[in-house]
Each structure stands twice: as structure tokens, then as C-alpha cells.
Amino acid sequence: MRERDTAVDAARRRASPRVRRERFKDFLCVAPALAFFAVFVYYPLVDLFRIGFTNWNLIRDEYKYVGFKNYKWLFKGSGLDTWLASLKVTFSYTFWEIVITLVGGILLAALFNREGKAFAAMRSIVFMPKYIAISTSAIVFMWILNDQYGFLNYVLGAFGVGPVAWLNSERTALTSVLILTGWRVVGYGMMIYLSAMKGISKDYYEAAELDGAGALKRFRHITLPLLSPTTLFLFVTTFIASMKVFQSIDVMTAGGPYESTNVMVYWIYDLAFVQFRVDRAAVVASVFFVILLAFTAATMKISNKSVHYDS
């Protein structure tokens, strides 16, 4: 036994130069990707935190380090109320986009989980809005939701409902943006769930049917648990994307009226390129990044206990 171990160690030592060369070749293959991420992702992220410790104003040519002054402005100064209000609006928007994507997507997937050209055409129609540019869609929905000559108010007027100031009222502005969002994202959720449903073995349903389980029970006790990995994927990706919403807000409401749609990314944009306070924008962006990271990590950790990967 000892002689065999000695022979194995000797073989490993002889092979080590070749192994090191192979590993070095592997590293050379991934080095361009690592360099790309270092230059365009990690360096800007580190520099973002650095800028937060300066008093950089685009109106001035020079800036200096001021320590935690901008963080005090955000957490203890005049920026606190706006930050909390923006965070509330952002989480509210995110919550409803997640609900629309998950609930609407899984219901449409169950409805369109049929074979045939008619169902394929309907799936394409529902999914098509995902490919339309947000800015283009937002302009069209601004016409649909216009309080004077919009199509939606015209339809409501036919039923005796007075005109609604969809984009010009604090109560309905965020709902108006969510109408556009739902129209765009529900088809994407449907297709992701539909592809996952196609991967579930028919044996589960046949066995449950033999035991007398109806369609609703099969959906509740088989489909939903086996779709949990897909639900987790959609939840995390939708959460991150919706927290970073910008284009639809910028085109449709510009954060108004009265900051009722002033989501976090739009506020960062306003601080940097309207108020020219890059230092404050960097602080808000840094804190926002930490919040996203913490929520995503917590979601992944908690969901490990309730996600089923056996399909």
C-alpha cells in the first residue's frame, strides 16, 4: 500500500508541470472576460463608492473628499424624506410587477398549455409586447391614457364613467405605469412557465388522476411545487429588473406628479443630471446597490427550503 501511494505521488509530481500548463491555458481563455468585468463592472462599482465621499458637483471643475457628509445628508438631512418616499414607490412598483409576472404568467401558461396553431398564435400575440421598445410602448400608452382624448377614457365614457386623469393624478399615475408594465411582462412570465410545464413528467398527473385527484388538485399539489425553481428564477430576475425601472417612468411621468412615481433610479438620474449633484447620486446608488444585494441574497437563502428541483 505504501509503495503504491509513493508511485501515485511520483506520477503526480511528474504530471504537475503539464497540469500547470493546462491550467494556465484555461486561465488565458477566461482572462479577456475577467478583464472586461474588471474594467466595466467592478472598477465603476468601486469608483461609485469613492465618489460618494466627495462633493462633486458638475457645475464645478474640482472636487474634494468630504468624508461621510453625503451619507449624513441622506440618512439625517434633507435627503431622508425623499429617499424614504422614493424607496416606498419603488417597492410598491416592484411588488405589483412581481404579482403580475408570477400570477398572470402562471395562469396564462395553464390556459395556453395546449397544442394547435390557434393556441400557438395566441401565445405569440401575448408574448409579442416583450419585444417592443419600452420608449415606443410608453408613447403609445401616453395616448391611450390621455385624460382628454385618450382611448381608455373614451371607452369608459361609453359606460358613463367620467374622464380619469391617469397620468396627472397622484392616485393613478403609478397604476398607469403598471398598466404598461403588465402588458409587457405577463407574456414573458407565461412563456417561462409554459416551457417549465412542458418539462414536468406526465407520470405525476396520470398517477394523481388514477387516485381521483381533479384538475385543481393536480395543479395545486403537482404543478405548483414542481414549478418552484421557475418561480424562484422569475421572482429574483423580476425583482432586480423592476427595482431598476427607469424608461417608462422617464417617458410617461418624469417622476411626477408630485413625486408619486419618483422611483429610485429616476431619482438618481435627477440628482446627477438635473441637479448636477453627482456625489449625492453616487451615495444613493451605493445604498441602493447594497439593498438589492441584501434582498437577493436573503431571497436565495430563504427559498432553498421551499424549492423543489425534482421534476
C-alpha cell at 31: 482572462
> What's the CATH number for 69-303?
1.10.3720.10
Q: What is the pTM of this model?
A: 0.87
CA 46 – CA 179 distance, rounded (Å): 37
Half-sphere exposure in the Cβ direction for 32 (13 Å, CA): 2
Range scoring the smallest mean pLDDT among 77-86, 119-128, 136-145: 119-128
* Sequence-ordered list of residues with C-beta below 8 angstroms from that of 271, at least 6 positions apart, any chain: 277, 278, 280, 281, 284
Q: Which part of the chain has CATH 1.10.3720.10?
A: 69-303
Question: Which runs of E-coded beta strand occur in 140-279?
Answer: none
**What's the burial of 299, exposed, middle or buried (CB within 10 Å: 0-12/13-18/19+)?**
middle
Share of the chain above pLDDT 90, in %: 63
What pLDDT was estimated at residue 15? 55
CA 39 – CA 230 distance, rounded (Å): 32
The mean pLDDT of 278-301, rounded to a whole number, is 92
What pLDDT was estimated at residue 143? 94
Share of the chain above pLDDT 70, in %: 93
Model confidence over 6-63: pLDDT tens digits? 655 555 555 577 777 788 888 889 899 999 999 999 999 999 999 999 999 988 878 8
pLDDT band at 306 (very low <50, low <70, confident <90, very high): low
What's the chain's average pLDDT? 89
What pLDDT was estimated at residue 215? 84
